Structure 1
Amino acid sequence: MTIKNNVILHHDDIKNKIRRIAYQIYESNINESEIIIAGIANNGVLLAKKIKKTLQDISNIKPILCEVHMDKKNPRTEIKTSIPPSEYINKSLVLVDDVLYSGSTLIYGVKHFLDVPLKQFKTAVLVNRNHKQYPVKADFKGISLSTSLHEHVEVILEGNNCEVILE
């Protein structure tokens, strides 16, 4: 018996989820003139770019993209960002990743940004897998999936055939 991949979200579904996340971010930051959209490399950055573009289309808020570079296999190592902390002091920040699985990547990302005073801090993911080992939640999420620990969620965000696949 062969295991067949299941497409959970197709390209248009992902566009709709991103649009809804962008509206939620806008609604929670309606009085802000700027907001930092911090995407965790690699897919988190791709998702953050899409959210940034949608925010620009639907609001007057100026979204500033920040790339967050960390070793996901060893998240306790140094985390680097594409913009210096001085540029996000006292601003609203949304930390973005593609999938929330155990929560380790997101919690260490949150920890990094807590060293700087922020006006507001939220998290956004496209897929929440509901297997958290850490006390972190996604404030904005595209879809929640109850999966087994043996399943894998692959998110493809490049090109014109974006998909979320359950393997």
Structure 2
Amino acid sequence: MMQHIILSHKEIEHKTKRIAYQVYETFANDSELIIAGISSSGFVFAQKIAKQLEIISDIKITICEVNINKQNPSDTITTSLPEEAYANKNLVLVDDVLNSGATLIYAIKHFLNVPLKKFKTAVLIDRNHKKYPVKADFKGLSLSTSLQEHVQVVFEEQNSYVYLS
């Protein structure tokens, strides 16, 4: 199967920084922010955004891992922080790729059980194939693909990349 590189390591770093600046602009008047990443690649991307935010701002950043069954997103969702830790706080929910929107919308539903001050979403790749009415507030790249194509994000220390197969 052919792989086409969509984003190189350097391009991912650039898009991560740009998203971090957009997040900072949105929350510049706030002192605290929760960055919640959907487990595995979304969590890695959340950590990268959080690291950039710590460099460019004095906002207190707390990272949270969101565990969701991507094959059956209606299963119970758990987080690495108790609900009290993000209640009445600002939160950015992060994933690597927004495909149909199912994972993101079920994760959003989980966080809506707790009152939040402000709630935004961020993704590295938005594929424009949504089955659910969900959007990314911050996105690295919008990509129109066929439903048969697959977008994969690979996060490695010095060689991260995104490819289409």
1:48 and 2:77 matched? no
Preserved CA contact (<8 Å) 1:46 1:158? no
Percent same amino acid among aligned pairs? 59
Q: What is the identity, as a one-letter code, of the residue corresponding to 1:116?
A: V
How does 1:1-167 map onto structure 2 within 5 Å? 3-167=1-165
2:35 is paired with a residue whose SS is: strand
2:62 is paired with a residue whose SS is: strand
Instruction: Provide the rounded CA distance (Å) in 1 between the counterparts of 2:17 and 2:85.
Output: 26
Shift of 1:18: 0.3
Instruction: Provide the rounded CA distance (Å) in 2 between the counterparts of 1:79 and 1:4.
Output: 35
Shift of 1:39: 0.2
Q: Could you list the runs of 4 or more consecutive aligned residues of structure 1 that deviate by over 4 angstroms after TM superposition?
A: none
Instruction: Provide the rounded CA distance (Å) in 2 between the counterparts of 1:66 and 1:11.
Output: 24
2:104 is paired with a residue whose SS is: helix
2:135 is paired with a residue whose SS is: coil
Instruction: Provide the rounded CA distance (Å) in 2 between the counterparts of 1:36 and 1:68.
Output: 12
Q: What is the identity, as a one-letter code, of the residue corresponding to 1:147?
A: T
Kindly provide the CA deviation profile for residues 24-70 of structure 1, in whole angstroms up to 9, marking residues without a partner as x: 00000001111000000010000000000000000001110000001
Greater alpha carbon shift after TM alignment, 111-120 vs 155-164: 155-164
With structure 2 as the length reference, what TM-score do the two structures score?
Answer: 0.99
1:67 is paired with a residue whose SS is: strand
Q: What is the identity, as a one-letter code, of the residue corresponding to 1:62?
A: K
With structure 1 as the length reference, what TM-score do the two structures score?
Answer: 0.97
What's the Cα RMSD here? 0.6
Preserved CA contact (<8 Å) 1:8 1:165? yes
1:28 is paired with a residue whose SS is: helix
